[in-house]
Structure 1
Amino acid sequence: MTAFAAAPGGQESAFAGRPDVPRPTHAARPDVPPPAYTGHSDVPPTAHVTFHPIVDLDAGTVVAVAPSVPGPPNLDPDLDVDCAILAARSLSRRETLLPIQLLLRMGTLAYDRPMERLHRTLASLGRRPGGVIVGVTGDLAGMSLDEAAARLGGLRSGGYLLAVEAGDLPTRFVADIAPTILMLGPEVTRRAAADPRRSAVAEALVALGRRIGGHVLAPGVVSDDQLTHLRGRGVRLAQGPLLASPQWLPGVPVNVPVGSRDAERDRLGPRVTEFMMPATVMPDTATAEEVLTVFNADPATGSVVLVDQAQRPRHTVDRTRFLLRLAGAYGHALHAHKPAARLADAPRPVPRTVPAIAALRAAGNDAERVYEDLVVIDEVGRCLGIARVGDLIRSLSALEH
């Protein structure tokens, strides 16, 4: 169940047929003049599009593609969207199901017509919102914090993933919108290894990302020193000439130099993914009756992970506690046709890159739930599977001996 996989075929709109999801409103503000460019024609098809892989530094794999049209930023919202549309169409011809990241200026979000064209085009290309990362750059462009948050919230409600260039925005605002990806500014990437102040910025964003469930992306990496330093600060996602040439195309391998932390990972033992098992996943809107059916169908299922549209875990349903509540007086009548989330707990996520011993320590932080399954997540917070605490204990104990 890959949250980023493009759906076959098109649909009328990225938000069509979903009355339960608020439609994002991008109407132009009355105090902002309409864009000078009103032709609504795409950037000429002869424009050159380059493809930049977004790389998971630990796994050494490409997790998304960021196509772009070289040139200065388009201040006109129509032209800005035209470039994004051209980039999306160019990637669609490569027939890759990798997630796509499209960059837009913050000010572009304030205009309805260009954004609607983008939604329609992505839908016609078979790109579902869960497979699109909308990267927002630049400052608030005259919008208030509340208005900008509403624009971004509309995209999130429609299922899109958000990436923001955090350096141009207030930290509190970034924390409130909780983007999936926090992009370092090019200057931070370039100077972090030699400038303690820029290095501190990277560390602060990594710490913020961990708290809000996001991950930091370092663009424009050109040297081993930059990459080693940023990895040491906790940055997990990167792109740039060091990892792939300007002629890179989807499907071509990338070059990820061995990081200085590999020896430390070896010393700490195997990763948690070596003990990972498939998770029983259901949408977070599932009812208790539906979860009960899953438990009854397979007695070996110890938990169910309830995920959102982007496959991020929102709740976990522990088999024992769930069945005890339903077996109580009037339990079935009270809960069966209501959301199973009412009988669920907060998930206990662990990144797939952590050592198994660290995951086991994390499990022990909650004495009441110490033996419950851990949810293994990837770099953008999606559920990959579960790790059973009992398996970790037995396996690590065997390694000790």
Structure 2
Amino acid sequence: MWTAEGCALSNRGRVRTGSSALVRKLEPGVVRGDHALVAWFPADLEFAFQPLYSLHTGEAVAVEALAVPGEVAVGKMLLDARAAGRLAEADVELAVRAVLAEAPHATLLPLHINVTAVTVAAADALEPLRHALSQVARRPREIVLEIGAPFEDVTADALLSGMRRCRELGFRLAFDGIGTANLSWATLSRAPVELAKIDHALVRHAAEDVSTVAFLEALVSYAARRDLRLVAGDVETEGELAAVRRLGIRLVQGRLFTGSRPGRVTLPGTASGATPSFAVPRMQDMLRPAVTLPGTATCEQVRVALTRPHMPGAVVGLDDRGRPEWTIERDGFLLAVTGPYGHALYASRPAARLADKPRTVPADLGALQLLSTVARGAYPPGEDTLVVVDDLGRYQGLVLVPEVVHAMATVKIEQAATVNPLTRLPGTDAVAGEIERRLADSEPFAAAWLDIDSFKQVNDTAGLAVGDDLIRALGQALGELAGGLPKLRVSHVGGDDFLIVCGVDELTALADRVLEVPWRAGTTPVTVSLATLICTAGAVGSYREAAKLLAPLKKQAKSVPGSSWVNGWAGTAEAKVLRHGQR
């Protein structure tokens, strides 16, 4: 972020030294034609292109254009343009220069360009950018406009209107600097964005500050409900990466990946290129690029595209609305057109004659859903490459079925590592995270601790196997209860202890299920103790605090004869025995 006189301008004016990026110097005289701009910046301004990586596949899924710091004080020039009332003009010039500088790299990845809210509010000011895209054979849908500060220079209604116009022009939209930019949550909730980038000021503290973690957990929960993808920006250390992974954020970029070129990267902390989070990936998280051509392209145009160095092995033909009409795989196509008489037969003919019908999947489809669809035979055997489309049927990228299988297998393995082998219930982290999320959302809830009375005596008299059977039966009952109560989550802490979080209105159902059952260890009757704590906004600050408050309630419940229930209220010393002496 550039900050001066209270004005923060987005980071397109700077890329950090050592950042992993491809640098391109813009030659003089390239901004010309009917849409020429008054130059605010020197012609030799350089740009770097920093990849964004998926934590599911280890693949670069996009690149961001950043002006390289040097003698050119980009941030100062933007501030001068703002003072002169011409910020949008300077902003668009930077965007045009970024597009022209990126073109020779031909990464085929979506290009992220930083623009200010002022520019987006005046969406028609982007016409020179559209012209530049046509010059380099890029389409607006391949561009993600990262909207950044200053937000205070435009009204929310003007910004939202401009964003809708940008969407009509075909651009994809994102917000930059979440957590530090002067962007209201009301505007974020109404904006037609598909991605939001978390500022490094938050990422830096995600591994150590409880308040930051609580905020980010709430943001992750909001993003999941809204189908909004989050990016952790400027990740610099393995500790930051580990914190981001724990939060379930799937996209990252930053100095930690120094030296990487767009493509595959071995992410720190893993033996392979992929670093999946526990969240089940969706198709939009696993995109690979393809060469795209108009649906009317000839075989010769496809041949030229596929024989260029470092090009992907597939071509997708698109109609004038960006929807896939056909696909061509490299090996089979080149075999046909480079064989005897192949060029003469096919060169000038429509590529569609040698193409396959595209197998499409929606971008928001979950990996597990895809694998279930494949297993049901919805796609021909051996169909490994699928075309991902948005809700309007427009091309987004390719996904490889073997990579989806690998990602899901890794997620399941990591999930299994956290599951108690006796009850198949998750460990403490599952409920701890749920408690933190509900605290961040200021959502009233009840935390509960359940265990078996005198369990050591059960083991000593009935045997370990019988004790295991009892724990397994109690875990099964809690699991079945969770299936019927939408707010209830269960974890098996270990031994005979279970930690539960639920809605306040679900407490009675929980107590009925665990207290009114005649539990037995073999033929010996046993009792259980239930301690619950009602938590409201401001009464509890963290999971650790809730667990600490539960401990004396559990001790009191175990002192009551028979199966018992003791309830407390966070923020008060009050505790009440609600049931006791039950079988």
Q: Are the counterparts in 2 of residues 175 and 208 from structure 1 also a CA contact under 8 Å?
A: no
| 1:103 positional shift | 0.2
Matched, 1:205 2:219: yes
In 2, Cα distance between equivalents of 1:156 and 1:228? 34
Q: 1:263 to 1:383 in 2, by over 3 A?
A: closer
Larger radius of gyration between Structure 1 and Structure 2: 2
Q: 1:49 to 1:135 in 2, by over 3 A?
A: same
Q: Give the alignment partner of residue 208 of structure 2, picking from 194, 202, 225.
A: 194
**Where do 1:294-313 residues align within 5 Å?**
none
The percentage of counterpart residues that share the same residue type is: 23
| 1:221 positional shift | 0.4
| 1:110 positional shift | 3.7
Name segments (4+ residues, structure 1) moved above 6 Å.
260-268, 270-273, 357-360, 371-374, 376-381
In 1, Cα distance between equivalents of 2:163 and 2:175? 10
Matched, 1:79 2:90: yes
| 1:205 positional shift | 2.4
In 1, Cα distance between equivalents of 2:105 and 2:42? 19
Matched, 1:133 2:144: yes
Give the equivalent residue in structure 1 for 2:365: 350
2:120 alignment partner, SS class? helix
Q: 1:216 to 1:111 in 2, by over 3 A?
A: same
CA offsets 1:55-74 (integer angstroms, 9 cap, x no match): 11110000111121034272
Give the equivalent residue in structure 1 for 2:344: none
Give the equivalent residue in structure 2 for 1:144: 155
Q: 1:256 to 1:377 in 2, by over 3 A?
A: farther
**Where do 1:192-271 residues align within 5 Å?**
192-245=206-259, 249-250=261-262, 253-258=264-269
Q: 1:176 to 1:161 in 2, by over 3 A?
A: same
Q: Are the counterparts in 2 of residues 215 and 379 from structure 1 also a CA contact under 8 Å?
A: no
2:196 alignment partner, SS class? strand
- In the alignment, residue 144 of structure 2 is paired with which amino acid? I
Q: Give the alignment partner of residue 56 of structure 1, picking from 48, 54, 76.
A: 54
Give the equivalent residue in structure 2 for 1:367: none
| 1:310 positional shift | 7.0
2:75 alignment partner, SS class? coil
Matched, 1:182 2:196: yes
In 1, Cα distance between equivalents of 2:109 and 2:101? 13
| 1:118 positional shift | 1.6
In 1, Cα distance between equivalents of 2:152 and 2:277? 47
**Where do 1:40-55 residues align within 5 Å?**
40-41=38-39, 43-55=41-53
In proportion to residue count, which structure has more strand?
Answer: 2
| 1:220 positional shift | 0.4
Unaligned ranges ≥5, structure 1: 1-11, 14-37, 277-306, 313-346, 364-370, 396-401
In 2, Cα distance between equivalents of 1:264 and 1:95? 26
CA offsets 1:346-379 (integer angstroms, 9 cap, x no match): x794333xxx49976xx9xxxxxxx9979x9979
Q: Are the counterparts in 1 of residues 200 and 234 from structure 2 also a CA contact under 8 Å?
A: yes
Q: 1:272 to 1:191 in 2, by over 3 A?
A: closer
Q: TM-score, normalised by structure 1?
A: 0.56
Q: 1:136 to 1:377 in 2, by over 3 A?
A: farther
In 2, Cα distance between equivalents of 1:158 and 1:112? 9
Matched, 1:92 2:113: no
Q: 1:206 to 1:139 in 2, by over 3 A?
A: farther
Q: Are the counterparts in 1 of residues 58 and 265 from structure 2 also a CA contact under 8 Å?
A: yes
- In the alignment, residue 215 of structure 2 is paired with which amino acid? V
Unaligned ranges ≥5, structure 2: 1-32, 69-73, 82-86, 287-318, 325-361, 380-385, 410-583
Matched, 1:171 2:185: yes
Q: 1:357 to 1:111 in 2, by over 3 A?
A: closer
| 1:308 positional shift | 12
| 1:259 positional shift | 5.4
| 1:210 positional shift | 1.9
In 2, Cα distance between equivalents of 1:54 and 1:213? 19
In 2, Cα distance between equivalents of 1:243 and 1:186? 15
Q: Are the counterparts in 2 of residues 216 and 235 from structure 1 also a CA contact under 8 Å?
A: yes
Q: TM-score, normalised by structure 2?
A: 0.40
In 2, Cα distance between equivalents of 1:210 and 1:55? 19
| 1:267 positional shift | 11
